[in-house]
Amino acid sequence: MNSSNSYLPEPARIIGIKEEVTGQRAIKTFRTQFINGGQFSYNCGQCAMLSVFGKGESMISISSAPYVKDYLQFSILKTGRVTTALHEMEVGDIIGVRGPYGNGFPMGDWKGRSLIFIGGGIGLAPLWGLLHTALQNRSEYSDLMLVYGARTSNDLVYKEELRELKKEIPVHLSVDTEEPGWDEFVGFVPENVKDKVKWPQNSIAITCGPPIMIKFAIMALKEMGFEDERIYTTVENKMKCGIGKCGRCSIGPHYICKDGPVYSWAKLKDLPTEY
């Protein structure tokens, strides 16, 4: 990456595009490589600023795992001008990438613990690299579990990968309402958490998704006996310039770009206007 100017993106080529979700809430996964062959080191939970020349830029969580060196992966929900422009791009097109930004997940503090990943919709993307890093270093952690859901089965990301993941760890999926052919949990993600999580002691819970899902997932975890210090989430959607200079990421005395986006609930619960 360009170390002389933190605002200057490096050109990267799109080498792969996968359509994850179709329809109004379309999601695509992009894999990119820097044109100059460079790489940057990053931690699970960090983000990068992606730019479409002539359209603008948007902060996106990195969904690939840091041990993967061949590409950077981003799963992107089509929501605005920049993400719409990204969805219109093709393999071979060039985008700008700068970063990484944010503090990342404190995986070193979690060694020897069980990890419970709780995601909703596109919120699985910020957890995906974290989950695979835990799998890559399986001996360092106890049990692993994923609880993940979306409005419909179409809205689930990484469908093929989830089928393979079930061969390695417990994966509990859900949709909000009944639909033909669905034989797993029907209901909201926090309800599935209450139904499936049976070992709250010595566990770390990491959740990401719509704010309302996070709110009720945390309530469910606390009812089970999770202390605030053992619950983590990420608010990367609050990040703006990436380096805390524009001020738009400020919440109370905190700048999410500098202090976050990863927080334990013990810290996040005291910030104003969150959840």
Same domain for 230 and 114, yes or no, is: yes
Same domain for 130 and 187, yes or no, is: yes
Same domain for 96 and 112, yes or no, is: no
Same domain for 146 and 227, yes or no, is: yes
Q: Supply the range of the domain harboring residue 63.
A: 10-101
Please report which confidence band the pLDDT of residue 212 belongs to, taking 50, 70 and 90 as the band edges. Answer: very high
Rounded-to-integer distance, Cα 252 and Cα 215, Å: 19
Lowest mean pLDDT among 155-164, 243-252, 257-266: 243-252
Same domain for 92 and 147, yes or no, is: no
Per-residue confidence (pLDDT) for residue 244, from 0 to 100: 56
Q: Given a cut of 90, is residue 79 above it in pLDDT?
A: yes
Q: Of 143, 92, 145, whose CA–CA distance to 118 is shortest?
A: 145
**What's the mean pLDDT in 210-219?**
95
What tens digit of pLDDT does each residue of 139-148 get?
Answer: 999 999 999 9
Lowest mean pLDDT among 197-201, 231-235, 242-246, 251-255: 242-246
Q: What is the CATH number of the domain that holds 224?
A: 3.40.50.80
Q: Does any domain span residue 266?
A: no
Per-residue confidence (pLDDT) for residue 248, from 0 to 100: 60
Q: Does any domain span residue 119?
A: yes
Q: Given a cut of 60, is residue 68 above it in pLDDT?
A: yes
User: Which residues, in sequence order, are CB contacts of 240 under 8 Å at separation 6+?
Assistant: 59, 246, 248, 249, 257
Please state the domain count of the chain: 2
Same domain for 95 and 118, yes or no, is: no
Same domain for 93 and 122, yes or no, is: no
Q: Does any domain span residue 253?
A: no
